[in-house]
Amino acid sequence: MENIILIKYGELTTKKDNRKQFINILYNNLNEKIKKYNAKIIKEHARMYIICNEHTSEILDIVSNTFGIHAFNICYKTHTNTEDIKFLALELLKQKKFKTFKVETKRRDKNFPIKSMEFNHVIGSHILKNINNINVDVENPEILVHIEINKEDTYIYFNDIKGLGGYPVGVQQKGLLMLSGGIDSPVAGYLALKRGIKIDAIYFEAIPHTSLNAREKVKALAKELLKYTTDINLYVVSITKLQEEIYKNCDSTYIVTILRRMMYRISEQIANKNEHLVLINGESIGQVASQTLNSMRVINEVVKIPVIRPVACLDKLEIIEMAKKINTYETSILPYEDCCTIFVPRHPVINPKHEKCLKEENKINYEQLIKESIDNTLIINIKDEEQFSDIL
């Protein structure tokens, strides 16, 4: 049976010129996801329809995970003639439990002889006559019966299902997400995607101090984010040597600050090389010593690229709630170590000083070490078909 999914964009943008581009990107994003199914998308100025012959629930799942969609619905189709519409509306409503309803007709074909208001009455009274114990409520109906009359076909659908909102991924250029195995950074990635940023990710590891399991965990997190985008390049950068040098030579209270400055420097270089316009990370103000305002300032000062911190002002519990919603939480709490959690001093500095950082950093040949790390970057393209190891 043919199913039709109606997609509404809502206010994608107020600028007319952008609107067309936004719709095209949304169309392409959806198309990429549903191309494996027997379905097609019809694109209009104010809405889209997906016509599917199979796998409707999978396609609905895709629609509900696509940014730029504010509401969607399953439409039921019949011929544009009053008797057929009456019949289908009643059949559909008989299967629902409700006390109040309202009919809302939209005549997209103005040649249809009955005006919208009048047609609301025709259908409404037919329903009232045939289903017991229900009423019309124009203010706050439990069920809204939408009837959309086109030239040949009429669509009936009910209350809107809320979409994810946001902007279609790709309406902004690319950003590079600093993705650790923790709870915060996948949420930060999700929020960046929500605003239309196409993300790739960078992960720092320090094998043998961190394990391959930790890397698999990060891949699994990237795979979760793939629901909202078409593919993610994961840049895996080894900083073992750099980290060991810092550990051996620098003031122990400054280890984390310096390590994070190195991560920023490397991220910026990889971003510049690959046309990422911003870095995105999961820093949250005050969460740990390296995330006091003072620390953030001293760490951030080594790069020119803008850094977006989508969860900066959220409480940990709020971040956890989102992580659960996007299904990354259970993976994030798996106990594999991160390079930020090894070699951690007992009392990391909370108010690091700029000059002191420079002095400590000059004890190691970090530019050369950074270059080596970047030269050895492993790039993993995370896509739907990607095979994952079963360590997790």
**Smaller CB distance to ligand ATP: residue 75 or 340?**
340
200 binds, among Mg ion, ligand ATP, none (CB under 5 to 8 A by kind): none
**Smaller CB distance to ligand ATP: residue 178 or 298?**
178
Helices (H), 96-199: 116-130, 184-194
Name the minimum Å distance from CB 291 to Mg ion.
7
Name the minimum Å distance from CB 232 to Mg ion.
20
Name the minimum Å distance from CB 286 to ligand ATP.
11
Residue nearest to Mg ion (CB): 184
Give the footprint of ligand ATP on this chain (CB under 6 A): 178-180, 182-185, 202-204, 281-283, 287-288, 338-340
Long-range CB contact pairs, 386-389, < 8 A, 24+? 386/219, 386/223, 388/216, 388/219, 388/220, 388/223, 389/216
Name the minimum Å distance from CB 331 to ligand ATP.
11
Angle between helices 366-375 and 240-249 (to 10 degrees): 160
Name the minimum Å distance from CB 277 to Mg ion.
23
Contact 368, 254 (CB under 8 A): no
Residue 327, Ramachandran bin (φ over 0: left; ψ between -120 and 50: alpha; else beta): left
**Smaller CB distance to ligand ATP: residue 22 or 204?**
204
Half-sphere exposure of 2 (CA within 13 A, CB side): 10
338 binds, among Mg ion, ligand ATP, none (CB under 5 to 8 A by kind): ligand ATP
Closest CA to 190 of 199, 182, 181, 178: 199
- Dihedral pair phi/psi, residue 91, rounded to 5°: -55, -45
Residue nearest to ligand ATP (CB): 182
DSSP H helix total and E strand total for the chain: 13, 15
220 binds, among Mg ion, ligand ATP, none (CB under 5 to 8 A by kind): none
Sheet strands (E) in 219-332: 232-238, 276-280, 307-308
Name the minimum Å distance from CB 178 to ligand ATP.
3
**Smaller CB distance to ligand ATP: residue 183 or 364?**
183
Angle between helices 212-225 and 184-194 (to 10 degrees): 30
Give the footprint of Mg ion on this chain (CB under 5 A): 184
**Smaller CB distance to ligand ATP: residue 138 or 379?**
379
Query: In sequence order, what are the residues at sequence separation of 6 or more whose Cβ sits closer than 8 angstroms to the Cβ of residue 371?
Result: none
**Smaller CB distance to ligand ATP: residue 171 or 314?**
314
- Give the chain's end-to-end CA distance (angstroms, integer): 39
Closest CA to 315 of 287, 340, 292, 295: 287
DSSP 327: T
**Smaller CB distance to ligand ATP: residue 127 or 188?**
188
Contact 72, 64 (CB under 8 A): yes
Name the minimum Å distance from CB 202 to ligand ATP.
6
191 binds, among Mg ion, ligand ATP, none (CB under 5 to 8 A by kind): none
Closest CA to 213 of 260, 179, 181, 178: 181
**Smaller CB distance to Mg ion: residue 30 or 221?**
221
**Smaller CB distance to ligand ATP: residue 56 or 284?**
284
Name the minimum Å distance from CB 283 to ligand ATP.
5
339 binds, among Mg ion, ligand ATP, none (CB under 5 to 8 A by kind): ligand ATP
Name the minimum Å distance from CB 15 to ligand ATP.
32
281 binds, among ligand ATP, Mg ion, none (CB under 5 to 8 A by kind): ligand ATP
